[in-house]
A and B are shown apart, each in its own frame.
Chain A
């Protein structure tokens, strides 16, 4: 005899057992082998390739007999020299300062603007063509106008970084709202949310994973642009360091030292933004990756 209310409790406890194990483990597989031991190859492999690259670089410079192009060791000495002269920290701070301001402005304007345009179809119709025309213009092309408007001040590169980052952020926010699962909206309407609550508690939250992806792209572009802007529009920063080292005495060891620092800081910025993707509030949006 099967009574419907009598289906054994085993069903639910089994269901719980299966799912009580959080799915967090899936990501760990990249760093551990199937047996659970630390996968030393995942560290050794990239290190070996990088070491091989440095050796090739060194040999290439030596064999060509170039006295302008630096070896890796000379670049390292260049970094130390910059640090000792106090320029390294100063220029890094200058570049990061500009990126922070331009980027923060882009987030503050791009996210609300994107949410609005994603939600109000008429506003999207009205503004989207303009955005699509401005978007493909490289921020570098704006440098003359930036100098015309802001002179040789921090405002010029900040403006350029803002331009570079605001489009990826806005466009990802628009797409996030437009692609939002309708069931979240229906549930929100059912619970009688006010317009403000709907935006803060549902539309923004549902769009956040995609917005963060846009922010990652934007920060990468912003870091590219700050270097270019500093080469022309200001007298400090890592971009200025590169152009200045070349112009004043053909110090190519310092040029490459500047490039290495740009690469390392860019990597760190990306790792930093990636941490945002690990918050529980947005992890659901990346679950299949």
Chain B
């Protein structure tokens, strides 16, 4: 009797671990990607990315940090399908990336909210094919989630930079993508707004369970947000180091664990600065 139970337990366990391994196929798999841009003079070329490989697991929050101009945004554009890699490939959910896709929404550094649409029309932009009632309900849900209740009819020019970024995040979420790509979305905001936006983004990520790949040059931001931080080197960029941020959330920005992770990333990037020829930070 006992043996049988053990046997049943074993089978169940192996089935679960099997499904687990299927589930853990990475959401994003960057394989030996290189990008070369033509230079200013003919025949000249600039190697931006060199043989970059990395994985992002489903539901994971990964930050990509590196010195400015190192090619973080280039890599994100390759992953997002806006730019073709010179060599190598990116698989998203097992399929090679052929172009931008509504299942993966990009949040742009320069704010891609449409100025001719008001807040609720912007948030509804990815819901064109939904029934009107459903659309209204989804828009209301995400308007509340990003804290824009009362501003539904406002136009982007009437909003602050932080609120415009909230609109773009809500628009991305409303389209119900599996993955959200964010390219320094809080770069143009002031310090306090940025802190608040990060806190809200973590809260939203925890409730929505999306995979997020987030580019930033701000090390503190990366440590506050990410499960894992990929540190890129100077150009031609590679993934120099991967730092797991296994700190509990909400994160205490004064805890030794936080400071340790932060300083670790600083050290990695600082060393690369000393080795590099120019200090491009």
| A interface, CB within 8 angstroms of B | 1-7, 11-12, 15-16, 18-20, 22-24, 181, 183-184, 186-187, 189-192, 197, 202, 205-206, 208, 280-285, 287
- Provide 12 A-B residue pairs closer than 8 Å at the C-beta atoms, listed in order of the A residue: A2-B253, A2-B254, A19-B158, A22-B158, A183-B108, A183-B111, A183-B112, A184-B112, A187-B108, A190-B104, A206-B114, A285-B115
B126: interface (CB < 8 Å): yes
Supply 8 further A-B pairs (C-beta < 8 A) apart from A3-B253, A5-B202, A192-B102: A1-B254, A4-B224, A11-B193, A19-B163, A20-B151, A190-B102, A192-B100, A281-B116
Asked if residues B155 and A284 are in contact (CB atoms below 8 Å), the reply is yes
Distance A187 CA – B254 CA, assembled complex (angstroms): 38
- Chain B contact patch, size range: 35 or more
- Give the residue of A22, A197, A280, A282 whose beta carbon is less than 8 angstroms from that of B128: A197
B157: interface (CB < 8 Å): yes
Residue interface bits B158-185, CB-to-A below 8 A is 1, else 0: 1110110000000000010000000000
Asked if residues B112 and A206 are in contact (CB atoms below 8 Å), the reply is no
Neighbouring A residues of B112 by C-beta, 8 Å: 183-184, 186-187
- Give the residue of B116, B150, B175 whose beta carbon is less than 8 angstroms from that of A191: B175
B interface: dominant SS: loop
Distance A211 CA – B135 CA, assembled complex (angstroms): 31
- Give the residue of B106, B125, B147, B155 whose beta carbon is less than 8 angstroms from that of A12: B147
- Give the residue of A4, A190, A287 whose beta carbon is less than 8 angstroms from that of B100: A190
B71: interface (CB < 8 Å): no
Closest B residue, CB atoms, query A9: B196
Q: How far is the CB of B254 from chain A (nearest CB, A)?
A: 6
Residue interface bits B103-124, CB-to-A below 8 A is 1, else 0: 0111010111011111000000
Neighbouring A residues of B116 by C-beta, 8 Å: 205-206, 208, 281-282, 284
- With A5-B202, A191-B126, A284-B155 as contacts: A11 and B105 at CB distance below 8 Å: no
